[in-house]
Structure 1
Amino acid sequence: MSLPITDHRTATREDWLAARMELLDAEKELSRLSDQVARKRRALPWLRVDKAYVFDTQHGPRTLAELFDGRSQLLVQHFMLGPGWPQGCPSCSFMADHSDGMNPHLANRDVTLLAVSRAPLAEIQRFRDRMGWQFPWVSSQGNDFNYDFRVSFTPEDKAGGQPVYNFDTQAFQGEEAPGISVFYKDDAGDIFRTYSTYGRGVEVMMGTYALLDLVPKGRDEREVPYKMEWVRHHDRYPQRPSGPAMSASACCAARG
């Protein structure tokens, strides 16, 4: 638990309103820039997906095309849950906690949202049940999907010390990493990769962060390499915080 704020400046109503209007100009500028970036994102060229991926699902084997579930757009969370892990990555779980609330709205806009992990389906289902989630979650065990999208790494990848992640080489030693990928299926049934994002790009799913950015303490994270050390699985937070949060290892250590 962080320390209280004790020394923040105060102002008269008139001064507060003037400062708020100045900030509003900056917020509007940021919104316009965000709209511009979104247009550039949609204008990216598409990459045809020719490999025949088959996933294990609750309804039996399904191809990538079948995962669209009758819609033309597919949004995939690359969820860090490797074979044999006792639980999923806390940060990926933080992302996934937002999915069930968004899913009805996304479905109404022709978007299917689901998670993909390399763990076997039974291990996925066990953790999904524990967390109480309803969104679709499938296993890529037995295909190259995770490796092709650079969110899982072979021993050979790690042996080099600089595997490719987030479109660049990284000093990354884990076997799994987070990401989001987007696909489009046309009327002919052809599938295209339209977008992927990694690293801090996955914050787009973390609506909690957007709200924390509004409050006085902000994200209130320590200046450490892994700033999400505070995140817990939602069933592992104390009922009432009474002291400093226990330190957490990086996501990849969640399997320990």
Structure 2
Amino acid sequence: MSKTTTPQHPAVSRDAWIEARKALLVKEKVHMRQGDALAVERRALPWVKIEKRYLFQTEQGERTLAELFDGCSQLIVHHLMYAPDWDAACPGCSFQAEHIDGPARHLQHHNVRIVAVSRAPIDKLLTYRRRMGWRFEWASSLGSDFNYDFHVSFTHEQLARGTVNYNFGTIDTDPRYQSEDLPGVSVFFKDTAGQVCHTYSTYARGLDMLLDANHYLDLTPEGRNDAAYPNWPRRHDEYGDDLKSCCGS
């Protein structure tokens, strides 16, 4: 991969730069406060009681959804794309998974448990987790309706019709999303009586808020610049010699 170039910017004095930066800061603060207000509305959403009994295969054996909370009352489930017959999780979901371990070790001290769930058999998940060097709990929903009920997996019949119900029906016939498995995040709460409720889900671009690497790129002059990096992101052990050509090492 060759280096990319960014458009030339005018060179100005430090004082002129400070004035331009302060003007942008006003807009950044508006954006931040709008995000805070959205978070309040997100927490105010009504909840749905989970009546169906879902079973998962984990490293510790079979577990129910309620047991995945593991002492916490809040559970975040990453729906990572890994169909039963695939040899690896998709590169995009592998990129998403890179953002789990760091926060997870802190969030467990904030009454939040993070678990990944995929349809591939548990042995495949654990083998791939070792390859990637991850530590988060990864459960298999193979044989369960869980992925289908939360609209991140789709039957062959649905795909044959060219229609899926993804992102609350806002994405249905877009060919980019015609896949048996798609990404998402779902959030659950368990009360003291053991009742589990579904509180929130997000899909597609909604997951971007969890991808810190993208937001680091947003700080740079080049930005995300997807056109210049068409094969990015990859699984982290598949970049080869790109680092030398990209960063000039």
Alignment of 1:22-41 (within 5 A): 22-41=23-42
Matched, 1:59 2:60: yes
- Tell whether the 8 Å contact from 1:179 to 1:199 is kept in structure 2 after alignment: yes
Q: State the one-letter code of the partner of 1:197.
A: T
Q: Deviations 1:184-233 (Å, cap 9, x if unpaired)? A: 0011110100000000111122111111110111111119xxx9741110
Structure 2 residue ranges without an equivalent (≥5): none
Equivalent in the alignment of 1:143: 144
Q: State the one-letter code of the partner of 2:76.
A: L
SS in structure 1 of the partner of residue 227 of structure 2 = coil
Structure 1 residue ranges without an equivalent (≥5): 245-256
- Point out 4+ residue stretches in structure 1 off by more than 6 angstroms: none
Q: Tell me the CA shift for residue 236 of structure 1.
A: 1.0
- Tell whether the 8 Å contact from 1:91 to 1:228 is kept in structure 2 after alignment: no
Task: Using the TM superposition, name which of 163-172 and 88-97 deviates more.
Answer: 163-172
Task: Using the TM superposition, name which of 227-236 and 115-124 deviates more.
Answer: 227-236
TM-score normalised to structure 1 length: 0.90
SS in structure 2 of the partner of residue 138 of structure 1 = strand
Partners in 2 of 1:50 and 1:123 — Cα distance? 29
Alignment of 1:163-242 (within 5 A): 163-168=164-169, 169-171=171-173, 172-222=177-227, 229-241=231-243
Aligned length: 241
SS in structure 2 of the partner of residue 31 of structure 1 = helix
Equivalent in the alignment of 1:20: 21
TM-score normalised to structure 2 length: 0.93
Partners in 1 of 2:185 and 2:135 — Cα distance? 19
Q: Deviations 1:57-107 (Å, cap 9, x if unpaired)? A: 011100000000010000000000011211111111111111111111110
C-alpha RMSD over aligned residues: 1.6
Q: State the one-letter code of the partner of 1:201.
A: G
Alignment of 1:2-17 (within 5 A): 2-5=3-6, 7-17=8-18
SS in structure 2 of the partner of residue 222 of structure 1 = helix
Task: Using the TM superposition, name which of 48-57 and 158-167 deviates more.
Answer: 158-167
Query: Could you tell me the percent identity over the aligned residues?
Result: 47
Q: Deviations 1:105-137 (Å, cap 9, x if unpaired)? A: 110110000100000001111111100100000
Q: Tell me the CA shift for residue 7 of structure 1.
A: 1.4
SS in structure 2 of the partner of residue 151 of structure 1 = coil
Q: Tell me the CA shift for residue 32 of structure 1.
A: 0.3
Q: State the one-letter code of the partner of 1:219.
A: R
